[in-house]
Amino acid sequence: MNSGRSSPQSRSPICSSPPKYAEMELQHLERIPPPRHPVKILLLENVHQTGVLLFEKEGFQVELLKTSLTEEELMEKIKDVHVIGIRSKTKITKRVLENASKLLAIGCFCIGTDQVDLEAAERLGIPVFNSPFANTRSVAELIIAEIVCLSRKLFDVSKGCHEGQWFKSAVGCHEIRGKTLGIVGYGHIGSQLSVLAESQGMNVIFYDIIPVLPLGNSTPCKSLEEVLSNSDFVTLHVPKSPQTENMIGEKQIKLMKKGAYLLNASRGTVVDLKALADSLRSGHLGGAAIDVYPKEPKANGSGFETPLQNCPNTILTPHIGGSTEEAQQMIGEEVATALIKLVRSGSTVNAVNFPNLEVPFTSSSHRILNVHRNVPGVLRDINNIFASRDTNVKAQVLGTTADIGYLIVDVDKETSEEVKEAIASLKPSLRTRILY
């Protein structure tokens, strides 16, 4: 399927070997002196080596763990960490954040950020970064593969052959061409999947809670129920939220056609697995493919249990939708780059819970980064600090949300330390640091 974009090999000679993303994004940091104190990075859940190497190239101290950590373990480990990198398992709660006195930023080396208390992080002046779509294609391709596997009962038939059974039959097996795929959540993954499914000859309908551009010949539906009752395959691509919790339960499954298939590679809280298991065993649904679960192990190993085990024509995978080498390498590079820019220059571009600011460094100056509660008079007080110390402000940018203000200001070197201390001592200040 040609997405219309040229592949690296087919690009014109001018950009036949495009500079790597990180090299482009970080090149301007060369003009900024490195941090005077060691920068400690804690990476959990086997973050890709690309990210590790980028941090090490910056001279940061990296600790890499293959697993996630419990809240208690995190509360201890995070005390002297400047940056933490996680994936979808590790839960960074308000309690953990209240122990993170040195934490400058959080990197979600994945799409989802529901595992972080974003409001608590914002109110504590900690920006959170993610990789909004680097594993989109990986998930979409997995779903396409599973649709064919379910439609041909491939896993059950293959298991039979491995066990010495030769059972050749076309009963209950169908082409996917001409069948209807119902997509719930038409965002990055849902829309990419829509294009791939249509390229396989499927009809695509979808439901989203916001107006979105239907790609190709796909058709928006007015309700979830409309998608459920008109689809041969229903696939879920919504975020974890109070609204999506158990959005597919016994009542919704009963609305689905007899023999239809349910696929979920979004979040484990979206589907009531007991209701799904009952519908598979009763024969109402023809099969399911599940990649995410309400409770998932914090590390690889045995002992995983789910009500879906041994259900007919049911594909179970261990949250691998984004687990391809291509996706993990891109994510590692993208999120590590954003975190390095935050540490080295205060850039918050691509932060999901912060004003997105990036200011070119002003030569022969020091940079002060201040996060404060967004209350009246803060900027007046900060500017009075500059005026009263005869400090020349060479660049100043303020971004705000309802709860916080984020200020990047380049000032004279001569008075920068004194000014930084005065700003940090203002009552609304949450975090203040200086870059030399």
Ligand X SMILES: O=C(O)[C@H](O)COP(=O)(O)O
Ligand Y SMILES: NC(=O)c1ccc[n+]([C@@H]2O[C@H](COP(=O)([O-])OP(=O)(O)OC[C@H]3O[C@@H](n4cnc5c(N)ncnc54)[C@H](O)[C@@H]3O)[C@@H](O)[C@H]2O)c1
Would you list the DSSP string of 59-108?
T-EEEE-SS---HHHHHHHGGG-SEEEE-SS--B-HHHHHT-TT--EEEE
* Amino acid, res. 146: E
Residue span 390-429 as binding mask against ligand X, x where in contact by CB under 6 A, dash where not: ----------------------------------------
Give the whole-angstrom CA distance, residue 105 versus residue 39.
12
Q: Closer to ligand Y by CB, 45 or 208: give it.
A: 208
112 binds ligand X (CB under 6 A): yes
Q: Select the binding partner of residue 243 from ligand Y, ligand X, none (C-beta < 5 to 8 A, by kind).
A: ligand Y
Stretch that binds ligand X, among 52-60, 107-115, 306-314, 341-349 (CB under 6 A): 107-115
Among 50, 88, 192, 416, which residue interacts with ligand X (rule: CB under 6 A)? 88
C-alpha radius of gyration, the chain, whole number: 25
268 binds ligand Y (CB under 6 A): no
Q: Please report, as residue ranges, which positions from 24 to 83 form the binding site for ligand Y (by CB under 6 A).
A: none
Q: Closer to ligand Y by CB, 77 or 240: give it.
A: 240
User: Which residues are known to be catalytic?
Assistant: 267, 296, 319
Q: Closer to ligand X by CB, 138 or 391: give it.
A: 138
Residue span 308-327 as binding mask against ligand X, x where in contact by CB under 6 A, dash where not: -----------x-xxx----
Written as six digits, the tokens of 171 are 């009963």
> Residues 241-267, buried b or exposed e (16+ Cβ, 10 A)?
eeebeebbeeebbebbbeebbbbbbbb
Q: Which residue has the tokens 């203000």?
A: 405
Stretch that binds ligand X, among 87-95, 250-258, 375-383, 401-409 (CB under 6 A): 87-95
109 binds ligand Y (CB under 6 A): no
Give the whole-angstrom CA distance, residue 161 versus residue 169.
13
Q: C-beta of 89: minimal distance to ligand X in Å?
A: 6
Q: Closer to ligand X by CB, 135 or 345: give it.
A: 135
Residue span 122-151 as binding mask against ligand Y, x where in contact by CB under 6 A, dash where not: -----------x-xx--x------------
Q: Select the binding partner of residue 87 from ligand Y, ligand X, none (C-beta < 5 to 8 A, by kind).
A: ligand X
Among 58, 117, 272, 291, which residue interacts with ligand Y (rule: CB under 6 A)? 291
208 binds ligand Y (CB under 6 A): yes
Beta strand extents in 105-257 (DSSP E only) = 105-108, 128-129, 180-184, 203-207, 219-220, 233-236
Q: Note whether 96 and 71 are within 8 A (CB).
A: yes
**Nearest-CB residue to ligand Y?**
187
At 154, give phi and psi (nearest 5°).
-60, -40
Mapped onto helix, strand or coil, the DSSP state of residue 302 is: coil
In this structure, is the dihedral angle defined by the CA atoms of residues 379, 380, 382 and 386, taken in order, positive or negative?
A: positive
Q: How many helices (H) and strands (E) does the chain have?
A: 14, 16
Q: Note whether 416 and 359 are within 8 A (CB).
A: no
Residues of this chain that bind ligand X (CB under 6 A): 87-89, 110-112, 135, 319, 321-323
Residues of this chain that bind ligand Y (CB under 6 A): 111-112, 133, 135-136, 139, 184-190, 207-210, 212, 237-241, 243-244, 265-267, 291-292, 319, 321-322
